[in-house]
Amino acid sequence: YFQAASGTSGGSSGSPVFDRTGRVIALNAGGSRRAASSFFLPLDRVVRALEFVQRGEAVPRGTMQVTLAHTSFDEVRRLGVSADMEAALREERPDATGLLVVQDVVPMGPADGLLRPGDVLLAVDGVAIDTFIPMEAACDDAVGQHLNVGLVRGGEVMDLQVPVQSLHEVSPASYLEFGGGILHALSYQQARTHAVPVQGVVVASSGYALADAGVRAGDVVLEVDGVETPDLPTLTRTLAALADGQRVSIRVFSLADPARERVSVLRVDRRWFPMQHCERDDRTGEWPCTASAPPPEADAVPPRSAVPPETRDKVAQKLARSLVAVDFDAPVRTEGIYGANFRGTGVVVDADRGLVVVDRDTVPVALGDVSITFGATLTVPGLVRWIHPEHNLAIVQYDPADMGAAPIEAATLDSRPLADGDGIWQVGLNQRDQLVSKATKVSQVRAAQLPLPSPPFFRETNLEVVHTDGAAWTMGGVLADKKGRVRALWASFVDLSGEEPDAWFAGVPSRHLLDAIAHLDAGGGAWPAVGAELVPVGLAVARDLGLDDPTVAALARADADRVVLGVARVSAGSPAAAVLQEGDLVLRVDGSLVTEPGPVESAVRAGGAAFQILRRGRVLEVELQPWMVDADGTARAVGFAGALVHAPHAAVAQQRGIEPTGVYVAWYWYGSPAGRYGLRPTRRITAVDGMPTPDLDSFLAAVGERAVGDSVRLDVMDLQGRQRVITLEVDPVYWPTYELRRGGGAWERVGR
Q: How does pLDDT run across 41-76, given as a tens digit for each residue?
A: 999 999 999 999 999 899 999 999 999 999 999 999
Is residue 34 pLDDT above 80, yes or no?
no
Is residue 428 pLDDT above 90, yes or no?
yes
Q: How does pLDDT run across 175-205, given as a tens digit for each residue?
A: 999 999 999 999 999 999 999 999 999 999 9
DSSP H/E element including 42: strand 37-42
Task: Provide the percentage of residues in the chain whose pLDDT is more than 70.
Answer: 100
State residue 1's pLDDT score.
87
Q: How does pLDDT run across 682-702, given as a tens digit for each residue?
A: 999 999 999 999 999 999 999
**For residue 507, what are the CA distances in angstroms to 172, 355, 391, 461?**
54, 20, 12, 14
Rounded (10°) CA dihedral 571, 572, 574, 580: 70
Q: How does pLDDT run across 377-414, given as a tens digit for each residue?
A: 999 999 999 999 999 999 999 999 888 777 899 999 99
State residue 574's pLDDT score.
95
Beta-strand pair 609-615/643-646: unpaired
**Alpha-carbon torsion (208, 631, 628, 624), positive or negative:** negative
Q: Which of 213, 274, 216 is nearest to 246 (CA)?
A: 213
DSSP string covering 597-618, please? HHHHHHHHHTT-EEEEEEETTE
Helix (H, G, I), strand (E, B) or coil at 140: helix
State residue 118's pLDDT score.
96
Calculate the CA 240 to chain-centre distance.
Answer: 24
What distance in Å separates the CA atoms of residue 159 and residue 149, rounded to the nearest whole number?
6
State residue 593's pLDDT score.
93
Is residue 744 pLDDT above 80, yes or no?
no
Is residue 37 pLDDT above 90, yes or no?
no
What distance in Å separates the CA atoms of residue 151 and residue 222, rounded to the nearest whole number?
37
Average pLDDT of span 630-643: 92
Q: What single-letter amino acid sits at 225? A: D
Average pLDDT of span 258-275: 96
The residue ranges of DSSP E strands in 156-286, in sequence order, are 156-163, 165-166, 174-178, 181-185, 201-205, 219-224, 227-228, 247-254, 257-267, 276-279
Average pLDDT of span 534-562: 91
Cβ–Cβ < 8 Å for 707, 732: yes
State residue 294's pLDDT score.
95
Is residue 9 pLDDT above 80, yes or no?
no
Supply the pTM of this predicted model.
0.90
Q: What single-letter amino acid sits at 119? A: D
**pLDDT averaged over the chain?**
94
pLDDT band at 483 (very low <50, low <70, confident <90, very high): very high
State residue 312's pLDDT score.
85
Cβ–Cβ < 8 Å for 333, 455: no
Cβ–Cβ < 8 Å for 440, 342: no
pLDDT band at 91 (very low <50, low <70, confident <90, very high): confident
Q: How does pLDDT run across 651-685, given as a tens digit for each residue?
A: 999 999 998 899 999 999 999 999 999 999 999 99
State residue 310's pLDDT score.
82
At 610, give phi and psi (nearest 5°): -90, 125
Q: What single-letter amino acid sits at 363? A: V
What distance in Å separates the CA atoms of residue 678 and residue 691, rounded to the nearest whole number?
20
Is residue 117 pLDDT above 90, yes or no?
yes
What distance in Å separates the CA atoms of residue 691 and residue 714, rounded to the nearest whole number?
9
Alpha-helix residue ranges (DSSP H) falling in 412-526: 510-521
Average pLDDT of span 551-580: 92
